[in-house]
Amino acid sequence: MIHKYELNGYRIVTDTNSGAVHLFEELPYRMLDYLEDKVPAELPEALASALVPEYGAEAVQEAYGELRELQEQGMLFAEDDYAQFAGMMKGSPVKAMCLNIAHDCNLRCEYCFAAKGDFGRGRMLMPLEVGKKAIDFLIERSAGRHNLEVDFFGGEPLMNFEVVKQVVAYARSREKECNKNFRFTITTNGILLTDDKIDFINREMSNVVLSLDGRKEVNDRLRVRVDGTGSYDAIVPRYQKLVAQRGKDRDYYVRGTFTKYNLDFTNDVLHMADLGFDEISIEPVVSDEKLDYSIKEEDLPAVFAEYERLAKVLIQRKKEGRGFHFFHFMIDLNQGPCAIKRLRGCGCGNEYVAVTPEGDIFPCHQFVGDDRWKMGNVLDGTFDLQEKEQFAASNVYGKEDCRHCWAKFYCSGGCNANSWQYEGDILKSHRISCELEKKRLECAIMIQAALAE
Amino acid sequence: MKQIKTLNTVNLKESAVKGGCGECQASCQSACKTSCTVANQKCERNGK
């Protein structure tokens, strides 16, 4: 399977099953229109009669020879023999956990998927005992996995920061005896960030996600406090302080959401870069199409054009020596993860679970609040292995749409919770998310082409 | 090659045979966790 597209003056061809990415001149690129799934030994008649008059026999033979060579090297029309690995996800250890340390929030962001912080289950903070039991559960269920991830999430995790600190201390106290390495992350809206919290986060958290939507007027339209006032002025200086004090080897992301209200989101990304942040993520809102701020099918052309604009600006800034990382355009064409990782999917409900303040286990944070998906509880030790197997099957070979998609090894199958919520089935694909992901990938690959020049 | 330039030397098939240790970062793809597209992640074994 191949995917070919033209963008920013480049003719790009990706070969799905080998992972090879090529830049084509016009003639071989046009030849692909006459080839289905292989480059036959003999020049196809239709191809020759269409292109020889225009380009000449010699040039056509030469280009065709190059296509044949790539095919022989396994870098064009490579066979798909990965389905044999799809069953490997069964029985996977649990290695990552979203710890919903606070089902409460001090903001009331319009688009919040967590029902403005309480997931529709009532406002509650996680007791320390539940946090400790969750760590025990993760250690016990992780079998031979050495690296374990815990993401402090909410709601707003800084509303229960003492418990965060104590859970970290407890997990660290068990690392050596259990031969585990904990990697902690935290996602915050910044309202309660203080110097001591910044110190702790920068010391203990391998990654921190700082929520900000970009320009003040954009951020303050939807990211509002309980009284309706905006959050921008309070959080930006705190984020700048945290990032300034953070070690260069430690990850962080300033992360925002764009909606129909700011389809010119490149300006928000650049605003964040100009604030001094160089690790930036801005995501399309995922929401019911009936809501005013939703990204709808009709908005896709505008969003695609904006991603292209952002990609071009990013190339320009990189060439000027003032580049920054835009998370969704980051791609490693040479040393990314192995194919097994790529076909595993997100691992939700299988390698990754979420735990609520009550100790309830859900496939991930996005399923929290829908009791149909409850998998067990860390206090009573229950864990539904049948449901776990159901999620293990939710990989790119378990999903019909993904199996035939050129982007499957870049994307890995999308968000199961979005598929459930908007398509009614974890094995289906959320169409708008897929279209956006494919566009981002096209831009990301094009940037690599531009920077390789 | 004159008319085609290949940008990478990756061989995904080889990586399937040798890979799958599972020690790398989980790749949640929900927007609120900033959609960890797998292709932008690192292999835990690289650099060791």
Model confidence over A243-260: pLDDT tens digits?
999 998 899 999 999 999
Residues 413-452 of A with CB under 8 A from B: 413-415, 417-418, 437, 440-441, 444, 448-449, 452
Span A370-417, pLDDT tens digits: 999 999 999 999 999 999 999 999 999 999 999 999 999 998 899 999
Predicted pLDDT of residue B36: 60
pLDDT in tens, A139-196: 999 999 999 999 999 999 999 999 999 999 999 999 999 999 999 999 999 999 999 9
- B38:A410 CB<8 A: yes
How many angstroms separate the CA of residue A410 from the nearest CA in chain B?
Answer: 5
Contact between A330 and B40 using a beta-carbon 8 Å cutoff: yes
Task: Kindly report the nearest CA distance between residue B47 and chain A, in angstroms.
Answer: 10
Contact, A375 vs A362, CB < 8 A? yes
User: Is B34 in Cβ contact with A346 (below 8 Å)?
Assistant: no
Nearest to A339 among B16, B25, B36 (CB): B16
Pairwise CA distance, residues A134 & A163, whole Å: 13
Listed residue (B9, B35, B40, B14) closest to A285, CA to CA? B35
Residue B47 has pLDDT above 70, yes or no: no
pLDDT band at A220 (very low <50, low <70, confident <90, very high): very high
**Which pLDDT score is estimated for A249?**
85
Residue of A96, A340, A414 with shortest CB distance to B26: A96
Examine the pLDDT at B35 and tell me if it is beyond 70: no
Q: Can you tell me the mean pLDDT for A119-128? A: 94
The answer to whether A327 contacts chain B (CB < 8 Å) is yes
pLDDT at A148: 97
Q: Does A189 or A117 have the greater pLDDT score?
A: A189
Strands A10-15 and A21-24: antiparallel
- For A130, A134, A233, A360, A389, the CA distances from A380, given in Å and listed in that order, are 11, 11, 44, 10, 21
Query: Maximum Cα–Cα distance for chain B, whole Å?
Result: 45
Q: What is the mean pLDDT of residues A338-357?
A: 92
Q: Mean of the pLDDT values across residues A286-302?
A: 93
Helix (H) or strand (E) holding A431: helix A431-452
pLDDT, tens digit (0-9, with 9 covering 90-100), for A26-57: 999 999 999 999 999 999 999 999 999 999 99
Q: Of the given ranges (A44-53, A206-215, A339-348), which has the lowest mean pLDDT? A: A339-348
The residue-averaged pLDDT of A128-146 equals 98
pLDDT of residue B48: 42
A281 CB within 8 Å of a chain B CB: yes
Is residue A298 packed enough to be buried (19+ CB in 10 Å), middle (13-18) or exposed (0-12)? Answer: exposed
Q: Does B48 touch chain A (CB under 8 A)?
A: no
Closest by Cα among A90, A75, A87 to A21: A75
Q: Any idea what DSSP says for residue A18?
A: T
Judged by DSSP in three states, A403 sits in: helix
Query: Among A21-35, A97-111, A346-360, B33-47, whose mean pLDDT is lowest?
Result: B33-47
pTM of the predicted structure, to 2 decimals: 0.95
pLDDT (average), residues A273-300: 94
Closest CA in chain A for residue B13: A18
Q: What span, in angstroms and rounded, lies between the C-alpha atoms of A422 and A410?
A: 22
Alpha helix ranges (H) inside A39-160: 45-55, 57-72, 128-141
For residue range A180-209, what is the model confidence (pLDDT) as tens digits?
Answer: 999 999 999 999 999 999 999 999 999 999
| pLDDT, position A438 | 96
Q: What residue in A sits closest to B27 (Cα-Cα)?
A: A346
pLDDT at A286: 87
What integer best gives the mean pLDDT of chain A? Answer: 95
Closest CA to A230 of A270, A276, A191: A191
Q: Is the CB of residue A58 less than 8 Å away from at least one CB of chain B?
A: no
* Nearest residue on chain B to A64, alpha-carbon basis: B3
